[in-house]
Amino acid sequence: MNTTSPLTALEVCQVLTDVALGQRIMTRSSIQPWSEIYHGLMPVSTDGWVLTLFNDCDTLDYCEYCRSPDGRVGTLDLWQRDGADPIELLSAWELEQLERLLSEL
């Protein structure tokens, strides 16, 4: 397990982009669907990646946490110190696609 280097916002953004493009399948890791959470955290996973996304009134606001299959971790605090959350790096189209996919989970 490689825990020496944290996940960068760009690495996590690439995973989310892959989901938006249909190259990865995202699954819900919570009992509640996106629409019932409405304002709070929702855990999801894809291909061994574990992410916690924040739903702000049906809008994907930020990524709180991510763990890669190799055990590396990234957090909102770390990404904000580096200047950008993974969600901020997405294109408008990618963000729309992710929000649509999350609403269907």
* Residue 62 covered by a domain: yes
Q: Provide the domain limits for residue 73.
A: 9-104
Nearest C-alpha neighbor of 34 from the set 64, 12, 63, 59? 59
CA dist., res. 98 & res. 19, Å (int): 7
* Whole-number Cα distances in Å, 93 to 14, 48, 75: 14, 25, 24
Q: What is the pLDDT of residue 57?
A: 93
* Residue 3 covered by a domain: no
Q: What is the pLDDT of residue 72?
A: 97
* Residue 78 covered by a domain: yes
- The count of other CB atoms within 10 Å of the CB of residue 14 is 13
* Residue 1 covered by a domain: no
Three-state DSSP class for 41?
strand
* Residue 4 covered by a domain: no
Q: What is the pLDDT of residue 4?
A: 76
Q: How many domains does the chain have?
A: 1
* Residue 2 covered by a domain: no
pTM recorded for the entire structure: 0.93
Mean pLDDT by 10 residues, the chain (105 residues): 79 98 96 92 97 96 97 96 93 97 94
- H or E stretch including 36? helix 34-37
- The count of other CB atoms within 10 Å of the CB of residue 67 is 18
